Amino acid sequence: MNTAATTTGATYRAWSKLPNNTIGSTVFSIGMCLRVPYFASVLPRVVALEPGRCEVKAPKWLGIRNHLGTFHAIAACNLAEVAMGMLAEATVPTSHRWIPKSMTVQYLTKATTSLRAVAELETIPDFATITDGCEIVVPVAIRDTVGVEVMHADITIWVSAASR
């Protein structure tokens, strides 16, 4: 039985309908970039999505390199926002809405390879208790191809009941 607190939005429903393989992931990611064109700048590919967790990969390509030839810090921030945004879309029910409020970033080391961002909530909030709104911090770990965390972001989103 779907209640307002458990109803998933269109983004997560679209992900759930696609095949669980590279083709489905690619089709979803293209659609995501058409809806949010700025995301396309890092050529993201969502590879895992479920309530409370999202994993996104981005290649190291000419368009995201900085003057050192490494993955540009702000491009990595964009990747973190992709992961957070898709996590929020998969997690926040249609009875509520969300918007980014702030981002705190730690640049831990140079990113010399393609990157993988994982946004993951330790626990999923009880949205039925959120009536006036609240802040939720979404941690995002960004790792290189050997698994070293090169950047960490904590993105605060504001979640409130949707207007009727």
**Residue 33: its H or E element:** helix 22-35
The span from the first CA to the last CA of the chain, in angstroms, equals 21
pLDDT digits (tens, 9 = 90+) for 38-69: 999 999 999 999 999 999 999 999 999 999 99
Q: What is the pLDDT of residue 1?
A: 32
DSSP codes, 78-100: HHHHHHHHHHHHHHS-TTEEEEE
Q: What is the pLDDT of residue 8?
A: 80
Q: How far apart are the C-alpha atoms of 11 and 24, rounded to whole Å?
A: 13
Q: What is the pLDDT of residue 160?
A: 95
Contact 84, 119 (CB under 8 A): yes
Is residue 119 classed as helix, strand or coil in its secondary structure?
Answer: strand
117 closest CA partner among 16, 42, 67, 20: 42
pTM for the structure as a whole: 0.92
Q: Which residues, given as ranges, of the chain have pLDDT below 50?
A: 1-5
Q: What is the pLDDT of residue 4?
A: 41
Contact 83, 118 (CB under 8 A): yes
Q: What is the pLDDT of residue 6?
A: 54
Contact 77, 154 (CB under 8 A): no
